[in-house]
Amino acid sequence: MTLLEGCIGVEDLVLLEPLEQESLIKNLQLRYEKGEIYTYIGNVLVSVNPYQQLPIYGPEFIAKYCDYTFYELKPHIYALANVAYQSLRDQDQDQCILITGESGAGKTEASKLVMTYVAAVCGEGERVNSVKEQLLQSNPVLEAFGNAKTIRNNNSSRFGKYMDVEFDFKGSPLGGVITNYLLEKSRVVKHLEGERNFHIFYQLLAGADPQLLKALKLERDTNGYAYLNPGASRVNGMDDTANFKTLQSAMTVIGFSKEEIRQVLEVVALVLKLGNVELADEFQANGVPASGIRDGKGIQEIGEMVGLNSTELERALCSRTMETAKEKVVTALNVVQAQYARDALAKNVYSRLFNWLVNRINESIKVGTGEKRKVMGVLDIYGFEILEDNSFEQFVINYCNEKLQQVFIEITLKEEQEEYKREGIPWVKVDYFDNGIICNLIEHNQRGILAMLDEECLRPGMVSDSTFLAKLNQVFSKHDHYESKVTQNAQHQYDHSMGLSCFRICHYAGKVTYNVNSFIDKNNDLLFRDLSQAMWKAQHPLLRSLFPEGDPKQASLKRPPTAGVQFKGSVAILMKNLYSKRPNYIRCIKPNEHQQRGEFSSELVAIQARYLGLLENVRVRRAGYAYRQAYGSFLERYRLLSRSTWLRWDGGDREGVEKVLGELSVSSEEVAFGKTKIFIRSPKTLFYLEDQRRLRIHQLATLIQKTYRGWRCRVHYQLMRKSQILISSWFRGNMQKKRYGKMKASALLIQAFVRGWKARKNYRKYFRSEAALTLSDFIYKSIARKFLLGLKNDLPSTNVLDRRWPAAPYKYFNTANHELQKLFYQWKCKKFRDQLSPKQVEVLREKLCASELFKGKKASYPPSVPIPFHGDYVGLQGNPKLQKLKGGEEGPVLVAETVMKVNRGNGKTSSRILLLTKGHVIISDTKNSRAKTVVALNSVAGVSVTSFKDGLFSLHLNEISSVGSKGDFLLVSKHVIELLTKMYRAVLDATQRQLPVTVTEEFSLRFKESSLAVKVIQGPGGGGNGKLSCKKKGSRCLEVTVQ
């Protein structure tokens, strides 16, 4: 039950909640980021390529998984391989392991791991070890000739492989058979930029010794060969030289002779040199275009190497013989046709060489006919492909995947149905997408796409890809899973992604658009008879054996089967093989396009999950009961949840399970009781059981801890009690001894005190009657002296701002201490004042007056505190005209500054100079310095000012004064705090009365015979800069806004 204990995410996607594509991808990502690359879907293994070596393989892990069943340990490819091998060995069931996924997903590595595990756990012995070694060594040979570097993968298998490993009744390997599917032979002559040809070409050039290269007439530089991309000759992490030595060693282990190895390499060299054969334009005598060899050196070297007349090879490359029952016609080929013939020959030579290698390996590892055997098949085949440009190769690959999906669904449902029947559980029909209609669309013998393609290839007359597409459009115009431009137009649909030469099939994994260009040529896969005959004439044994149809005695005018027919037949045989075995599935996923470890692209994985049908797999698996387990294992895990089964249960396993579920009140619809297993419908029910088990374990752990602690405390108490009795007996004796000693000493002391008392009683007359008062007075004075002397050494600083004072040591000194603090502070203040000059005293008095008037009332007061009052802000000393205004008897000018006078009629402002003397307020013009208004201080009735940061104030005058009859003044000053403070002090000195200073936002001004209401408001800026704007509201109201 490790699937439910301490796992990262969900280890079996059958238990995933909620069952959605997004949650499935997130679960895979969570496990991948934590280093868990394997996940189950029932008995299906999902493997995410880590692009690094993980410490989860090797003999230690093989031994670990060999001893446990499928679900007892974390998901692993060894677990699946172990189940397959044990079923084959113990239950006599033929097995098949299907490994699917796109290029770069790790299929080849997965197949190696499976074979490594099987080789490690099966029997030992000289013959067995030899067979195991041959089976394992077939991988390097097939990888060298069948793998290549692509944009997506540095070691991509460019063919499908199915290996049947055969075992005896003891489970020891006897041999095997390898079947290959659809080698990508077009890669021999053409591949994308950044990709490589098959590994063998680079391994041969890099690893062969100089003598071998000379014998093969090759140069080590890969840039000298047209069939090899010059920019991608090396692959990071791949040593072609070492791999070539590994290849030679593997071929020797399998059983290839040195002569056979030499002949194989000569055929490889032939393919390389064919790519360097350059063809040139020529013309026949009648002007018909023809072709010829530009440089005969390459043809001559090929002829010398394989024992072939170079003239014969040149004729076969540049001409074609059309043969009927009555006559032969030789037709010259133009350059394009000759290049096609050359590339077709190279592809066919390499493809046939690869098939020969597979057959040769099969000869070495085949099993004798007389032995009874069991079979385990391993299928490593390309996954579903959707490229930007999908051609014939993608079409047949996706057809194969459709068939594999059909097998998976049918076999999975069949296994489920058989298990239900075996356990006596009623079978409920499962709704799922049956892709049989898509398979039928492709493979139907009369009306399938492959049949139409063959029919078009064999039809006389003008045949092209366009006529093939037109035929498809005619036959499948109303098919639900077929689309093309013609069918879309007929249904009035517009799809710019659908080309005129394309058709689309709605596969189980999504819609795929195929381009029909080259479908006819690739299906025909024709090699001109002249080339076959030329190859057969070669003196090279291996090359000659690859072209048996070139033998004139076996010449046949019958057309060879097309590629589509051959592949369809191979798939049919494969399907028959799979249906005869118990399948095990490994779904390989590529986490990113850059082959970087730790990088997980959710979009890319989601596409692959859809191609692999993972969500459909989970749904099929969960269609009935999501979880099932044998009664014994289930009871062993959950018996602690019932009082009836815990601690001991003597009844049957099924009855125990029924007791547990009955006491937990699990719905009868959620469970079903089979003959040997309990079936649980919903993962939520299983998670509920796990939650209850986790809670119960916590309770039991608490009970165990409590019992153990009680036992430990009791034992400890008994030991302590014994020790205490011993200690207390000794202690009591010792204590009594000490007590006796103390009693004796106390008796002597009492006797001494009594004798002293008697003596004092006799001589009391010699003591003074008021000795106690004298002593107490002495003690008090001593304490007071100590307090005062301590206070002397702990006095605070003489800074007037320092209010610290030490606390009194005793409560009865609190009053005195407080008075001393007050005296000390007054003394500090007097000392500070004595140090000040008269001018400084006057400044402080002005600041004190400003504080009393405006502190806590006006917002502009706090910023003015640290700024000294200057008084002169207009340069009075340099302006004689202004000096004359104050008169000789006024004394010095207290304040001289420029103010703004607000017009009471329209709210406009004008600049004025205000002079404050000891007796008058003088308002003059700023231009000619003439006095506009002179107001005696005894005529000033009061001042109104706002609480904002503005400088607006109103000067209220007495009505009886000559100036006051004109009305009050509304002024704006930048130094309103200083101006009003000095005006307040000047009025007090001049009239012996306090000037009323009112802080308000609404006040009234006398204006001639009437009055004007002034309302000051704060603008949206909060009044931070103190700017004013005045606006007349009617005839009797002026609104001032502080910005």
Q: What is the largest CA-CA distance in the chain?
A: 175
* Residue partners of 878: CB distance under 8 A and separation at least 6: none
Gap between the Cα atoms of 216 and 230, Å rounded: 21
Catalytic residue among 108, 484, 924, 944: 108
Gap between the Cα atoms of 297 and 268, Å rounded: 18
Contact 309, 537 (CB under 8 A): yes
Pairing of strands 677-680, 969-972: unpaired
What's the length of the chain?
1043
Residue spans of alpha helices (H) in 463-528: 465-475, 485-490, 519-524
Catalytic residue among 42, 101, 104, 106: 104
Catalytic residue among 39, 49, 100, 103: 103
Per-residue tokens: 541: 């044994």
Residue 383 among the catalytic residues: yes
Contact 513, 502 (CB under 8 A): yes
CA-angle at 718, arms to 715 and 723, nearest 5°: 130
DSSP 8-state class, residue 580: T
Q: 943, exposed or middle or buried, with CB in 10 Å at 0-12, 13-18, 19+?
A: buried
Contact 415, 623 (CB under 8 A): no
Distance of CA 963 to the CA centre of its chain: 85
Helix axes 614-621, 602-612, angle to 10 degrees: 60
Q: Rg (Cα) of the chain, in Å, rounded?
A: 54
* Residue partners of 772: CB distance under 8 A and separation at least 6: none
Catalytic residue among 383, 550, 919, 964: 383
Gap between the Cα atoms of 341 and 314, Å rounded: 11
Gap between the Cα atoms of 761 and 770, Å rounded: 17
Question: Which residue type does 125 have?
Answer: G
Residue 1012 CB neighbour total at 10 angstroms = 21
Query: Looking at the DSSP assignment, which residues form a beta bridge with residue 165?
Result: 176, 376
Tell me the CA end-to-end span of the chain in Å, nearest whole number: 76
Residue 682 among the catalytic residues: no
Residue 233 among the catalytic residues: no
DSSP 8-state class, residue 31: H
Residue 5 among the catalytic residues: no
Residue 566's Cβ-side half-sphere holds a number of Cα atoms within 13 Å equal to 12
User: Percentages helix, strand, coil for the chain, rounded to the nearest 5?
Assistant: 50, 15, 35
Residue spans of alpha helices (H) in 763-803: 771-793
Position of tokens 């937990």? 664
Residue 513 among the catalytic residues: no
Position of tokens 């992490």? 237
Per-residue tokens: 272: 């390389």
Catalytic residue among 385, 419, 423, 1001: 385
Catalytic residue among 49, 139, 153, 390: 153
Gap between the Cα atoms of 253 and 290, Å rounded: 49
* Residue partners of 743: CB distance under 8 A and separation at least 6: none
Gap between the Cα atoms of 811 and 245, Å rounded: 103
Residue 249 among the catalytic residues: no
Burial 760-774 (b: 16+ CB within 10 A, else e): eeeeeeeeeeeeeee
Residue 156 among the catalytic residues: yes
Q: Which of 874, 947, 946 is closest to 916 using CA atoms?
A: 874
Residue 153 among the catalytic residues: yes
Gap between the Cα atoms of 981 and 842, Å rounded: 12
Q: Which of 100, 97, 202, 189 is closest to 143 using CA atoms?
A: 202
Contact 929, 938 (CB under 8 A): no
Catalytic residue among 100, 138, 157, 412: 157
Q: Write out the catalytic residue numbers.
A: 103-104, 108, 153, 156-157, 383, 385
